[in-house]
Structure 1
Amino acid sequence: MLLTSLDFRAFQFSQSLIYAIEEINNNSSLLPGISLGYKIYDSCSSTAIGVRMAMALVNGNENAVLDEPCTKPAQVQAIVGETYSSVSMAICLSSKQKYPSFLRTIPSDYYQSRALAEMVKYFGWTWVGAIRRDDDYGNSGMAAFIEAAEQLGICLEYTLPFFRTYSQEKVLRIIEQIKSSTSRVIVGFVDTWDLEILVQAFFEHNVTGYQWVGTEAWIFDLELATADKYSILQGAIGLSIPNTTVTGLKEFILDIHPLKSAGSDIFTRFWEALFKCKYKIQNDSDDTTVCTGQEKLSEVENTFTDMSLMPIFTNVYKAVYAVAHTLHDLFEHLKRVHFQTKEGEEVYFDKNGDPPAKYEIINWQKNKEHQHEFVNVGFYDSSFPARNRLAVNMTSVVWVPVSVCSESCPPGTRKAVQKGKPICCFDCIPCAEGEINGIKCTQCHQDYWSNPSRDKCIKKETEFLSYEETMGILLTAVSIIGAFITLVIAIMFFRYKNTPIVRANNSELSFLLLFSLSLCFLCSLTFIGRPSEWSCVLRHTAFGITFVLCISCVLGKTIVVLMAFRATLPGSNVMKWFGPPQQRLSVLAFTLIQVLICVLWLTTSPPFPYNNMHYYKDKIILECHLGSTIGFWAVLGYIGLLALLCFILAFLARKLPDNFNEAKFITFSMLIFCAVWITFIPAYVSSPGKFTVAVEIFAILASSFGLLFCIFLPKCYIIILKPEKNTKKQIMGKVLAKVGHSSKLATHKILFKGLDASE
């Protein structure tokens, strides 16, 4: 009976170790005068046997029975361990507290798990399933993969344990669960023997169309890829140990002629299994081929002649050299070793005794002859910066599905996790105004607002009454026209200053009133344009002071009219108390009170530029904050008080003689003035944005035009169109008639002396 249970891969590993030892022993520069020896034991992939053999090697009791205590001194200085994690405990052995003397030449599966997660994320697969070998290798590796996947936003729909000894019932349950799933990607943390059984089950139940992602344990297995039923794995992609070679190693592995191992029963048995022959035929009926010892390996194609695992054999080679270099460096700590192989590859270990994790990314593809090929499409190197660790040539990759639980949310929406499902399963909900999409809707900065598609924050539009817009242009034009008309009237009054109509209307107060009205028109311009510190201070103080100056002049004129006609009564001497000096003093006193209010306002809490973001959500209103609202309303209140006093006095003087109707005109002007500013208050409070400023400018212009036209337009009419009425006789006619003959002369003098301060 032929011996067919020999593991050819194990022989390849053994040959790699022997080659490295012989090469070191023949190297005069490394460990000169010292020869390395070796003992090789088969763990049979059993954890118990592996531990027993390791303890036997350390204590020299490899031939002892199981119950004999390990008491002999150590016979070996280093052990090159098992390739399987279940035997070597590859994951937890990185703990230096528990295993201070353990090092590895192949990266820990912890790094492979993270590299797999990053690769899955790279391809956009956020909804995947996983099958793990039900032992330390699979369970520990999958735990590390799940941890990394969660950090990268990948969700696992399922993670199923599997072992080659599982019953058909268990395998069937696994198949049914995979068929009922919605993910199209399967991460296989298994070895080749497990995958053979799984693929057979997939083939029998016609489970196809899945993208397989594999570990280095099976992704580069040629035997696994060649059978027809393994087309189920077509397009598989995974991590592989970098394809490095050692000069002469391949030839040494294949050079196992039994003549070089005479007397070695294991090589004889190996030769028989390799060529399917026997050296000794026990009976003639046995149709087995007789071994001649001259069989050629070139005529054989099996796992022993397959050198696809050369990168793993190289790790055995490096392990032996690591030990040799450590001994050469006076047995320093092995983890401090840093050397280069003869091929130029650097070998060193980190603080955990791990080498840098380097993998090639392998993709299963078919060539033109429909033969399987393992195509290198990228790499993973943990020694690189995080953003550069994974590199994939996307144009070279062949894979099947897109695997997501929910499609990516379109711009302007956010993810809302579906109740009872993983975070990769979500609904897309539109972002609110002022927010943009992402993992969560993010509020834009207060100076920004979301665009209509909710995928970008754009600068908020600013609003203020500008000189460039239509309303600003119109108000500016009206302001300038008002100031120009005022100037024209002033020039006209100066030209006719010696005529009765001008002299009888107190020319000094008239010119001062015209000057203050021109300032009122011009101060409205400070309300237009982008608010600044100086404009905010100037607009309110200039407005308050110029209007008080204006109303003070009108109030002075009203008092003069009343006093003049009171002085016509017999024995009255009131005009000496309100002559020209008193008129000037009253105007100055009234104005100084407003100046004092403005100074207090600016000292305590002055107006300042303010970006109002509360009225509109998508717009910023540039305005002048009042600072102290008490100061603002004190300024307005004082203007209103003077205007009301002026209106009352003018109303009392409304029945003066018709030809001298100054009091009536003042009454009309004050009526307009008060009406404008009474309606201004609710309009000012309720107007939004730049319209607040427009309302204030309109109130200034309307009240200024009211004063200008009511007080000066009738006089301009007489000066220009009715010059015949611009005489003392016409002005004093009805006045003298009403006051009586005995007081005519006195009235005439009082009117022209009282009303004209220049005389």
Structure 2
Amino acid sequence: TCTFQFSQTLIFAIEEINNSSSLLPGVSLGYKIYDTCSSTAMGVRMAMALMNGNDNTVLGEPCTKPAQVQISHYSTCECLSDKRKYPSFLRTIPSDYYQSRALAEMVRHFGWTWVGAIRTDDDYGNSGMATFTKVAEQLGVCLEYSLPFFRTYSQEKILRIIDQLKMSTSRVIVAFLDIWDLEILLEVFFEHNITAYQWVGTEAWIFDPVLATMDKHNILQGAIGLAIPKTEVTGLKDFILDIKPLKTAGSAIFTKFWEALFQCKYAVQNDTEDSIICTGEEKLSKIENTFTDLSLMPAFSNVYKGVYAIAHTLHTILENLKQLRFKTKDGEEVYFDKNGEPAARYDIINWQTSKQQLEFVAIGSYVSTFPAHDRLVVNMTSALPTSVCSESCPPGTRKAVQKGRPVCCFDCIPCAEGEINSIKCEQCNQDSWSNPQRDKCVKKEIEYLSFAETMGIFLTVVSIIGAFMTMVMLLIFLRYKNTPIVKANNSELSFLLLFSLTLCFLCSLTFIGQPSEWSCMLRHTAFGITFVLCISCVLGKTIVVLMAFRATLPGSNVMKWFGPPQQRLSVLAFTFIQVLICVLWLIISPPFPFKNLKRYKEKIILECHLGSSIGFWAVLGYIGVLALLCFVLAFLARKLPDNFNEAKFITFSMLIFCAVWITFIPSYVSSPGKFTVAVEIFAILASSFGLLFCIFLPKCYIIIMKPEKNTKKPLMGKAQVK
């Protein structure tokens, strides 16, 4: 039926051109029509006969004529694009190069990543399926199977195909089949009760009404595929429906077609008794059959455009049809690319049933010349089946391909800590960490010793209390500076020591809060300088005690070598050395704020990097040397007369000081995060309180609570007895 329709379209176009006054004036086109009888061998034979001008081509007869330009309206095989083999072949229907890609993109669009495929076992099916398979793999679609089929296959071979289908798990079949193979395959599917598959088809069969009529068991129900866009050639429908056998070229052949169409017989001797007589005036418009069904009008347009391509070429005397570009009278642009092919454009057709009647519904389109993201347009409202080998991995997991299976078959493995995503686990950046569900990165918790937290508040309060107590004792010493106990303890060094202790308590506050560039440089240098000032004063007091005892010996004038000027100078000299160490530290490699990302994976510790660790340990070591020297001197003076008991208090205070800082070193190294800072603050406060309580608290107790002992007699009495 469609062969007659195509031939009538050819005749319509030629007659229209021959009657045109603007296209090929004075030139008449002719035609020859051959029937392939659905046989590949016959089709090749007829084509060769047409090109060689020999209606009776004999096998083995050489083809002596040069290649002639051939224009096809129906051959879509990508193999014909090879211009080395087919230099004179052109076509007005898109190549399967585009159709295969469009099918792959459409399958991926619907989320079918696990599909099967059946192809016609010839150049058309094998070439088209090869391209589809390649593109599908690039888009992440896997083929569970790809089976060849041909209408002449043996029953045994067909049964093997059916067995493989029954064992498959995919629910989508991509059918790269011609209409004749699919008709036979439908019968096989019905015999073996193979249903409930989602079919995806090519333009070769998706828009075929005859196939739809054959599909009585709805095996293809819901099929989706590509079709040539609807195009109507003005006047063609009326021309086809106005055909009369007696005025049609080749009427002898057409007469048999007419008899079959209307179930009648022309008056022939002894053959009309029981038959309806054909008059030749029967109306095609009044019957409904496959011939009057013009749903294949888009394909007719390809025939129409092919005829006009030749006419325009002749008209413009072009040597190369590939450079041709023109518009039909209905405004459709026709041109050929470098392979002699038109732009690929398809409608996406879905088989739908409405009121017990099958309808071919256009649900989208595919245009190869559009940008990649705009080529495929689908507007699908009805539900479609799911066809995947493995369900998508939930957030927080990654795909792990199953060994020996396609990439679409995978297991879902939880992402490691600090990783997210559902396709490939991705590491969060340094400042982020995965949430418990591992589906997104969240900012890491930032940790530092804050003024707002319990530990920070406690240490701040203790520091302020220590500074306050020191200031109170300083005021007491100022108030009673002229009393014997204050004078006997070297009031000038005592005032300087109390001032330095106040700074020691306050410098611990620089360790609390978010580290900054200035706080990092200030905290360690301020701590180092104030503690050296403090220890220098204690060392001076210790030396004064020793010198004062030796001054009581007959003929000794040692005190002139260590009077108040020398005491001030010694304190200044010892402190200046520490200041010099700190300045060098700050110049060469100062401390700086630092994000510690290594100690904990899930949080960031803000701390002060030491810069030069040598500078830090030099500051701490210098304090230790002075403290040890002070302790040794005080220890040597511990047996002086009881009234001169300053050395005993200094010894005890320095013992506490050294014990605190010796304990501090391993604690500082091993403490995590903000506790490192807390340990350092605790050492500062503990050693400061040790000095304050051991050296000044007993004296303040005597001044306030035992004023009767704050006289010269009790201080000197025991010495006089000795």
Which residue pairs with 2:71 in the alignment? 80
C-alpha displacement of 1:736: 3.5
Which residue pairs with 1:306 in the alignment? 293
Give deviations 1:22-72, integer Å, cap 9, x for gaps.
333334344445444433333444555545544554554555645554445
Return the match for 1:38 from 20, 31, 34: 31
Instruction: Single out whichever of 370-379 and 51-60 deviates more from structure 2.
Output: 51-60
Return the match for 2:564 from 556, 580, 601: 580
- Secondary structure of the residue aligned to 1:290 is coil
C-alpha displacement of 1:175: 1.4
Q: Could you tell me how far apart the structure 2 residues matched to 1:174 and 1:263 are?
A: 43
User: Which residue type is aligned with residue 345 of structure 1?
Assistant: E
Q: Does 1:359 align with 2:350?
A: no
Aligned pairs for 1:103-114 within 5 A: 103-114=90-101
Instruction: Single out whichever of 567-576 and 42-51 deviates more from structure 2.
Output: 42-51
User: Which residue type is aligned with residue 18 of structure 1?
Assistant: I
User: Which residue type is aligned with residue 254 of structure 1?
Assistant: L
Which residue pairs with 1:646 in the alignment? 630
Aligned pairs for 1:156-305 within 5 A: 156-227=143-214, 229-261=216-248, 264-281=251-268, 283-284=270-271, 287-305=274-292
- Secondary structure of the residue aligned to 1:708 is helix
Cα distance 1:350–1:589, how it changes in 2: closer, same or farther (>3 A)?
farther
Q: Could you tell me how far apart the structure 1 residues matched to 2:709 and 2:165 are?
A: 112
Aligned pairs for 1:542-581 within 5 A: 542-581=526-565
Which residue pairs with 1:94 in the alignment? 81
Is the Cα contact below 8 Å between 1:200 and 1:229 reproduced in 2? Answer: no
Return the match for 1:372 from 340, 345, 358: 358
User: Which residue type is aligned with residue 163 of structure 1?
Assistant: F
Q: Could you tell me how far apart the structure 2 residues matched to 1:308 and 1:477 are?
A: 92
Q: Does 1:20 align with 2:20?
A: no
Q: Could you tell me how far apart the structure 2 residues matched to 1:26 and 1:261 are?
A: 17
Is the Cα contact below 8 Å between 1:235 and 1:398 reproduced in 2? Answer: no
C-alpha displacement of 1:228: 5.4
Give deviations 1:430-457, integer Å, cap 9, x for gaps.
1111111332222222222111111111
Is the Cα contact below 8 Å between 2:74 and 2:299 reproduced in 1? Answer: no
| 5+ long unaligned stretches in structure 1 | 1-7, 739-759
Give deviations 1:258-292, integer Å, cap 9, x for gaps.
23226742333332333333325354487444322
Instruction: Single out whichever of 482-491 and 232-241 deviates more from structure 2.
Output: 482-491
C-alpha displacement of 1:537: 1.6
- Secondary structure of the residue aligned to 1:503 is helix
C-alpha displacement of 1:332: 5.9
C-alpha displacement of 1:594: 1.7
- Secondary structure of the residue aligned to 1:93 is helix
Cα distance 1:669–1:84, how it changes in 2: closer, same or farther (>3 A)?
same
Give deviations 1:232-281, integer Å, cap 9, x for gaps.
11111111111121211222223321232267423333323333333253
Which residue pairs with 2:587 in the alignment? 603
- Secondary structure of the residue aligned to 2:570 is helix
Q: Could you tell me how far apart the structure 1 residues matched to 2:714 and 2:75 are?
A: 128
Is the Cα contact below 8 Å between 1:96 and 1:352 reproduced in 2? Answer: yes
Is the Cα contact below 8 Å between 1:60 and 1:73 reproduced in 2? Answer: no
Which residue pairs with 2:394 in the alignment? 410
Cα distance 1:728–1:24, how it changes in 2: closer, same or farther (>3 A)?
farther
C-alpha displacement of 1:627: 2.0
| 5+ long unaligned stretches in structure 2 | none
Q: Does 1:657 align with 2:641?
A: yes
User: Which residue type is aligned with residue 515 of structure 1?
Assistant: F
Is the Cα contact below 8 Å between 2:390 and 2:410 reproduced in 1? Answer: yes
Q: Could you tell me how far apart the structure 2 residues matched to 1:328 and 1:60 are?
A: 23
Instruction: Single out whichever of 550-559 and 42-51 deviates more from structure 2.
Output: 42-51
Is the Cα contact below 8 Å between 2:73 and 2:92 reproduced in 1? Answer: no
- Secondary structure of the residue aligned to 2:105 is helix
Is the Cα contact below 8 Å between 2:73 and 2:306 reproduced in 1? Answer: no
Which residue pairs with 1:388 in the alignment? 374
Give deviations 1:526-568, integer Å, cap 9, x for gaps.
2112222222222111111111111111111111111111121
Is the Cα contact below 8 Å between 1:56 and 1:70 reproduced in 2? Answer: no
Cα distance 1:488–1:328, how it changes in 2: closer, same or farther (>3 A)?
farther
- Secondary structure of the residue aligned to 1:233 is coil
- Secondary structure of the residue aligned to 1:610 is strand
Instruction: Single out whichever of 486-495 and 512-521 deviates more from structure 2.
Output: 486-495
Which residue pairs with 1:136 in the alignment? 123
Identical columns (%): 79
Q: Could you tell me how far apart the structure 2 residues matched to 1:463 and 1:398 are?
A: 52
Which residue pairs with 1:614 in the alignment? 598
Give deviations 1:3-33, integer Å, cap 9, x for gaps.
xxxxx21121222222223333334344445
Q: Could you tell me how far apart the structure 2 residues matched to 1:315 and 1:654 are?
A: 119
Q: Could you tell me how far apart the structure 2 residues matched to 1:29 and 1:667 are?
A: 124
User: Which residue type is aligned with residue 81 of structure 1?
Assistant: S
Give deviations 1:638-673, integer Å, cap 9, x for gaps.
111111111111111122333332112111211111
Is the Cα contact below 8 Å between 1:61 and 1:72 reproduced in 2? Answer: no
User: Which residue type is aligned with residue 316 of structure 1?
Assistant: V
Which residue pairs with 1:686 in the alignment? 670
Which residue pairs with 2:658 in the alignment? 674
User: Which residue type is aligned with residue 115 of structure 1?
Assistant: A
Q: Could you tell me how far apart the structure 2 residues matched to 1:59 and 1:616 are?
A: 85
Cα distance 1:509–1:95, how it changes in 2: closer, same or farther (>3 A)?
farther
Q: Could you tell me how far apart the structure 1 residues matched to 2:394 and 2:300 are?
A: 49
Give deviations 1:166-189, integer Å, cap 9, x for gaps.
122222221121111111111111
Is the Cα contact below 8 Å between 1:54 and 1:79 reproduced in 2? Answer: no
Q: Could you tell me how far apart the structure 1 residues matched to 2:547 and 2:322 are?
A: 113
Instruction: Single out whichever of 476-485 and 255-264 deviates more from structure 2.
Output: 255-264
Q: Could you tell me how far apart the structure 1 residues matched to 2:323 and 2:272 are?
A: 62
Which residue pairs with 1:148 in the alignment? 135
Cα distance 1:41–1:698, how it changes in 2: closer, same or farther (>3 A)?
same
Cα distance 1:193–1:69, how it changes in 2: closer, same or farther (>3 A)?
closer
| Number of residue pairs aligned between Structure 1 and Structure 2 | 722
C-alpha displacement of 1:496: 2.5
Cα distance 1:325–1:605, how it changes in 2: closer, same or farther (>3 A)?
farther
Is the Cα contact below 8 Å between 2:206 and 2:226 reproduced in 1? Answer: yes
Q: Does 1:315 align with 2:296?
A: no
Which residue pairs with 1:734 in the alignment? 718
C-alpha displacement of 1:73: 6.6
Return the match for 2:431 from 441, 447, 453: 447
Which residue pairs with 2:503 in the alignment? 519
Instruction: Single out whichever of 600-609 and 666-675 deviates more from structure 2.
Output: 600-609
Q: Could you tell me how far apart the structure 1 residues matched to 2:74 and 2:610 are?
A: 81
Q: Could you tell me how far apart the structure 1 residues matched to 2:368 and 2:302 are?
A: 17
Cα distance 1:286–1:690, how it changes in 2: closer, same or farther (>3 A)?
farther
Is the Cα contact below 8 Å between 1:203 and 1:229 reproduced in 2? Answer: no
Q: Does 1:528 align with 2:519?
A: no
Instruction: Single out whichever of 546-555 and 383-392 deviates more from structure 2.
Output: 383-392
Aligned pairs for 1:450-465 within 5 A: 450-465=434-449
User: Which residue type is aligned with residue 373 of structure 1?
Assistant: E
Cα distance 1:737–1:99, how it changes in 2: closer, same or farther (>3 A)?
farther
Instruction: Single out whichever of 105-114 and 724-733 deviates more from structure 2.
Output: 724-733
C-alpha displacement of 1:573: 2.2
- Secondary structure of the residue aligned to 1:700 is helix
Q: Could you tell me how far apart the structure 2 residues matched to 1:491 and 1:64 are?
A: 131
Q: Could you tell me how far apart the structure 1 residues matched to 2:510 and 2:90 are?
A: 81
Give deviations 1:333-362, integer Å, cap 9, x for gaps.
433333333333333344444433222221
C-alpha displacement of 1:729: 2.6
Is the Cα contact below 8 Å between 1:237 and 1:362 reproduced in 2? Answer: yes
Is the Cα contact below 8 Å between 2:348 and 2:362 reproduced in 1? Answer: yes
